[in-house]
Structure formats: C-alpha cells, structure tokens
C-alpha cells in the first residue's frame, strides 16, 4: 500500500524537507577544496538540530553519520571522514531529517572548483533527469513513467543508470513503499495518485552502471571507478505538476540553479 497523505501531514513533510533543503544549500556553499567530509557533516548536524529536527541517517541500520557524502567514484552512502575535497571532483551531498514524526530526504551533487567537461555534463544530465522524473510524477501516470524519464534523459549522453539503488516513498518512515527504480522495468507498476509522497533520486554513472560496496558495508562505488552524480527531491504527487517539498527560498526547483550562485 502506498500511503496517501492528508494536507495536514503534508504541512509537516514540507517543514521537514525545507530543513533538508536549507542544510543542502549551506553544504553546497561550503563544499570547496580543503574541507573534509567530516567537517561538512558536522555543519549539517548542527543545522539540523538547531532547526529542532534529528538527523535521520544517524544510526539508521548502524550508519555512523548525519549525512552521506559521496565523492567522485562514490555513488551513494559515503561515510563522512577525513577525506579532503579537491578541485575537479564531484561531491554528492545527501541529507535526511526527522521532524515532528515526519521525514525529509533530498540530495544534490556539486562541482568542487572547476570540473572537466565530462563531470560537468554528468552533473547537468543528472539534474535534468530529476527534473524530468518530477514532471512524470503526476496523478494518472504510472510509477514506471518516472524511471523511464530518467533513463531517456541520460541515455543519449552515454551515461548509465544505477540499478542497485532506487528511490522510495517517504512520510512517517524514511523508506516507505513504493520502491522507485530509475529505469524502465517492463512493468508499469502502480498508478500514481494525488497525495502520494515520493523521494525521487536518480544516481547516474559516467561509465558502467555496476556498483561495488566497500568493506565498511556502506560506501557504494562505481565498479570502473569513474565518477557518479546523485540528485534527489521529495515531492507530493498532485493532479497537475508535482509539489517539490525539499525546497526553500534558496533552493530552487532545479538543484543545479541553487549552486554556483
């Protein structure tokens, strides 16, 4: 069963996700050469707690930090630590919070300094894939329309869609039904209905879609060590355009527009 949220619940989900958006934009501004991923994580945890929320990743199945920070060949679930950002890298920032019993979850990837042409194109294609996926997430469409939109956006660029990790429903749990693949599965899946709340999160690799998980049990890297990008918004399905929840006065609809201001 995919939950249909009431407007009262959506107010709380909006609040939770606005906190996420503000933290992400702050991290995006600080993601420069020389800073460690642990320092970024500390900034996020401080902001989340100051907003009266809790970092929902911390302790989730034993995850040891408040954010996932995934640099270059790391696709998702990077554990913040002593790694220092360097110019030319892609830094993916993923933040989740719990606020008054409701969850917020979003992610964006930023260039550290100047990146090469391939990384720039990867960032832009992944951001665009998320925007197109959100356009497909409207009442009356089917779940598969979301994944197809992602796939059709990035395939012409020669990039590949990660298959091992998917988006998810979100609400009173961080990961709720349905799972949301970023590719066509050959089954149209459930019909989307107004009030469903979804975390849509394309993970796109420059090279192979194949993934390796490091010995820490979390860090997911590309099997060919080429770079990867990840963008995520939590949205409400509506009769027309979806409502993006993970947005704030500084976070625009397209994540790519909230960085490099």
Point out which residues bind Mg ion (CB under 5 A). 105, 199
Minimum separation from the CB atom of position 180 to Mg ion (A): 9
Closer residue to Mg ion (CB): 152 or 173:
173
Closer residue to Mg ion (CB): 75 or 115:
75
Minimum separation from the CB atom of position 168 to Mg ion (A): 6
Closer residue to Mg ion (CB): 90 or 200:
200
Minimum separation from the CB atom of position 174 to Mg ion (A): 7
Closer residue to Mg ion (CB): 17 or 132:
17
Closer residue to Mg ion (CB): 27 or 115:
27
- What is the rounded radius of gyration, in angstroms, for the C-alpha atoms of the chain? 17
- Residue 108 in contact with residue 24, Cβ under 8 Å? yes
Minimum separation from the CB atom of position 103 to Mg ion (A): 9
Minimum separation from the CB atom of position 234 to Mg ion (A): 8
Q: How far is CA 136 from CA 70, 130, 143, 229, 235, in A?
A: 27, 10, 9, 21, 12
Q: How far is CA 63 from CA 2, 146, 162, 178, 218, in A?
A: 26, 28, 21, 22, 8
What is the C-alpha separation between 196 and 6, in angstroms, rounded? 9
Residue 199's H or E segment, with its range, is strand 197-200
């Amino acid at each position: 069963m995919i939950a249909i949220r009431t407007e009262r619940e959506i107010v709380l989900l909006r609040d939770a996700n606005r906190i996420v958006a503000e933290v992400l934009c702050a991290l995006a501004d600080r993601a420069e050469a020389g800073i460690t991923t642990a320092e970024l994580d500390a900034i996020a945890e401080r902001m989340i707690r100051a907003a009266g929320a809790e970092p929902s990743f911390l302790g989730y199945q034993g995850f040891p930090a408040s954010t996932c920070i995934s640099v270059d060949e790391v696709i998702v679930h990077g554990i913040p630590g002593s790694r220092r950002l360097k110019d030319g890298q892609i830094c993916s920032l993923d933040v989740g919070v719990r606020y008054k019993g409701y969850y917020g979850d979003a992610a964006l990837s930023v260039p550290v300094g100047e990146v090469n042409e391939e990384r720039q194109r990867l960032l832009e294609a992944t951001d665009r894939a998320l925007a197109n996926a959100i356009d497909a997430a409207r009442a009356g469409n089917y779940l598969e329309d979301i994944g197809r939109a992602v796939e059709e956006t990035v395939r012409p660029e020669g990039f590949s869609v990660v298959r091992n990790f998917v988006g998810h429903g979100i609400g009173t749990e961080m990961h709720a039904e349905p799972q949301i693949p970023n590719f066509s599965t050959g089954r149209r899946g459930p019909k989307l209905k107004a009030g469903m709340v979804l975390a849509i999160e394309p993970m796109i690799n420059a090279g192979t879609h194949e993934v390796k998980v490091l010995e820490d049990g979390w860090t997911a890297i590309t099997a060919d060590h080429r770079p990867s990008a990840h963008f995520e918004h939590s949205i409400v399905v509506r009769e027309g355009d979806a409502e993006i929840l993970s947005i704030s006065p500084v976070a625009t609809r397209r994540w790519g527009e909230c960085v490099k201001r």
